[in-house]
Amino acid sequence: MAIAVFGGGCFWCTEAVFDELRGVQSVVSGYTGGSVKNPTYEQVCSGRTGHAEAIRIEYDPAQVAFRDLMTVFFATHDPTTLNRQGDDVGTQYRSAIFYADEKQKEAAAVFIKELDEAKTFRNAIVTTLEPLNEFYEAEKYHQKYYANNSYQPYCQITIPPKLHKLHKQFAELLKSHGKPS
């Protein structure tokens, strides 16, 4: 198993997306990239901890490549807005790849360069590449938030469009791909 850690705005949204990919064994919402040890949600929301809301993905590289995970990551959030995703504003919502090793860092740098050179997005990508230090698991009520709270207004508005895009553009990467319904 390998680990990938992404910050792409609200972790409820990113968790819901990556939970559906084949080869993904677990997706954990949490905080990383800051200086406060064992931060709480309230502390991170203040924007004063330096942490980003992020997800830690445990995956099988034989079933899904890191590059595939990055492809989905960049397609399901806006990597061109600094410290913002929709109405969520602040450094805690920054677009970031927290690399576990130099190989991931290099792969992410090359991938971002390819996307920018191809002008995939109207504006330049502002996603940061940051070393993965300590990852703090978010409070229990944040885990599998969309699965447990899909009726919540924020979830109803924000997450279904991301899942629709995932299903439309990346059907071959889904856990359900090729299985009878």
Which helix or strand (DSSP H or E) is residue 137 part of?
strand 136-137
Which helix or strand (DSSP H or E) is residue 30 part of?
strand 24-32
Positions marked active-site: 10
DSSP letters, 70-118, are: HHHHHHSS-TTSTTEETTEESGGG-EEEEESSHHHHHHHHHHHHHHHHT
CB-based contact 129:107 (threshold 8 Å):
no
Cα–Cα distance, 34 to 27 (Å, whole number):
20
